[in-house]
């Protein structure tokens, strides 16, 4: 939150609780079945109250995020000296845009909300999948820890500057994104306005088509042993996950690629490195269940429970 809004939140109370509740409400709305989507005649009735809840949430988000933008504007005017010495956050970056790149307040609110809304659950879910794999594959965990020790040493904590040199750690993240993509159905939705044939398939007009990234990343014609967790495949071949290689594009591709991909990946890499540098991760008596549950993201059906033992 600090890199986006320039402030930390104590979740569970105050503004932290308010933000937490807004994110939860957003996911509840997106993940719930809305009958008016399938029966348009019911739309005007709003029987489930979905539209009413959306209007209320939009008002809350505009007030919350808009207030943060206004706080930044006031601080930039009244505390010039502090602003120059203070590390800029993402709100500052947006406010510094000029001329044709300058955003309206509504556009800034949309971008900032996207960073928070889609950057909270996906980071947590991806880290949970990675740690589940570390517990299940202790040899891979040990190899990653050995790499961290070799690059960083044991006298200091791993930092952002070390991450580019942790090649095997990057491979672990890529392999987890391949096997357990948080967004298995990418939001590259396209509406066919005419009847069309795509790849030998007939797509009638009015059809909404989406990209099934999960199917692509588990296709034997594309990946060798797709059901095996093998980070080494990404050591042997440096596959980009930023959208240029459609074999693995968990953040989308093109102009509508996820705007928070770089921040999300940086967070995952650093947190994973810190978790592995400081602790050895062991399974609980319940073991690890890799059953998947598709909500708004691809989550673990049964949350991971494991033991963290301090490393010597």
Instruction: Report the SS3 class of residue 211.
Output: strand
- Give yes or no for a contact between 246 and 222, defined as CB atoms under 8 angstroms apart: no
Q: What is the pLDDT along the chain (312 residues), one digit of tens a residue?
A: 777 887 888 877 888 899 989 988 988 887 777 888 778 788 778 888 988 999 999 999 999 999 999 999 998 888 765 545 567 888 988 999 877 788 999 999 998 988 787 767 788 899 999 999 999 999 999 999 999 999 999 999 999 999 999 999 999 999 999 999 988 877 667 889 999 998 899 999 988 888 899 999 999 999 999 999 999 999 999 899 988 898 999 888 887 777 778 888 999 999 999 999 999 999 999 999 999 988 778 899 999 999 999 997
User: How far is CA 251 from its chain centroid?
Assistant: 8
pTM metric for this prediction: 0.77
CA dist 136 to 132, 147, 260, 264, 304, Å?
A: 6, 19, 29, 24, 11
Burial letters for 175-188: b for 16+ Cβ neighbours within 10 Å, e otherwise?
Answer: bbbbbbbbbbebee
DSSP-assigned beta bridge partners for residue 283:
306
Give the tens place of pLDDT for each residue, 94-140.
999 877 788 999 999 998 988 787 767 788 899 999 999 999 999 99
For residue 236, give Cα distances in angstroms to 168, 171, 191, 249, 310.
10, 10, 38, 18, 31
* Residue 309 near residue 279, CB atoms below 8 Å: yes
Q: Which residues have C-beta within 8 Å of that of residue 250, sequence separation ≥ 6?
A: 177, 181, 182, 183, 186, 213, 241
What pLDDT score was predicted for residue 83?
47
Between CA 281 and CA 273 the distance in angstroms is: 13
Question: Is the C-alpha dihedral spanning 247, 134, 153, 274 positive or negative?
Answer: positive
- Locate all alpha helices (DSSP H) within the chain, ordered by sequence: 2-5, 14-31, 35-38, 50-78, 80-85, 90-95, 105-136, 138-152, 167-179, 213-217, 233-236, 261-278
Burial class (CB in 10 A: 0-12, 13-18, 19+), 42: middle
Task: Taking each helix axis as running N to C, give the angle between helix 167-179 and helix 138-152, from 0 to 180 degrees, rounded to the nearest 10.
Answer: 150
Q: Which long-range contacts (CB under 8 A, 24 or more apart) does 137-140 make?
A: 137/229, 140/172, 140/229, 140/231
Q: Residue 116 has what pLDDT?
A: 80
Domain ranges of the chain: 1-102, 124-312
Say what angle helices 105-136 and 14-31 make with each other, to 10 degrees. Answer: 80
Distance CA 13, CA 257 (A): 33
Q: How far apart are the first and last CA of the chain?
A: 32
The CATH number of the structural domain formed by 124-312 is 1.10.630.10
In 200-215, which positions are buried (b, 16+ CB within 10 angstroms) versus exposed (e)? eeebeeeeeeebebbe
* 258 annotated to bind ligand: yes
DSSP assigned state of 250? T
What's the pLDDT at 21? 92
Q: Single out the residue of 134, 141, 231, 135 nearest to residue 178, CA to CA.
A: 231
């Amino acid at each position: 939150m600090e890199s986006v809004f320039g402030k930390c939140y104590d979740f569970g109370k105050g503004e932290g609780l308010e933000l937490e509740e807004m994110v939860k409400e957003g996911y509840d709305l997106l993940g719930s079945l809305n009958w008016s989507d399938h029966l348009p005649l019911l739309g005007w009735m709003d029987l489930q109250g979905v539209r009413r809840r959306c209007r209320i949430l939009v008002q809350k988000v505009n007030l919350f995020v808009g207030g943060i933008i206004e706080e930044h504007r006031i601080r930039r005017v009244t505390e010039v000296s502090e602003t120059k010495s203070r590390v800029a956050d993402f709100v500052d970056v947006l406010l510094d845009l000029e001329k044709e790149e300058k955003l309206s307040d509504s556009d800034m609110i949309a971008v900032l909300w996207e960073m928070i809304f889609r950057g909270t659950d996906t980071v947590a879910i991806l880290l949970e999948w990675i740690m589940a794999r570390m517990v299940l594959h202790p040899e891979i965990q040990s190899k990653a820890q050995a790499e961290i020790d070799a690059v960083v040493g044991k006298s200091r904590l791993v930092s952002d500057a070390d991450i580019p040199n942790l090649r095997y750690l990057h491979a672990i993240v890529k392999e987890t994104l391949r096997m357990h993509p948080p967004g298995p159905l990418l939001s590259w939705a396209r509406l066919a306005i005419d009847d069309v044939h795509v790849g030998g398939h007939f797509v009638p007009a009015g059809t909404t088509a989406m990209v099934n990234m999960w199917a692509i990343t588990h296709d034997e014609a594309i990946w060798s042993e797709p059901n095996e967790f093998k980070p080494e495949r990404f050591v042997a071949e440096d596959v980009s996950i930023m959208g240029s290689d459609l074999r693995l594009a968990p953040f989308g591709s093109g102009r509508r690629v996820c705007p928070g991909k770089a921040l999300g990946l940086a967070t995952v890499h650093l947190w994973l490195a810190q978790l592995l540098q400081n602790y050895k991760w062991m399974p609980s008596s319940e073991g690890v269940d890799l059953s998947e549950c598709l909500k708004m993201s691809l989550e673990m059906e049964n949350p991971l429970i494991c033991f963290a033992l301090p490393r010597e």
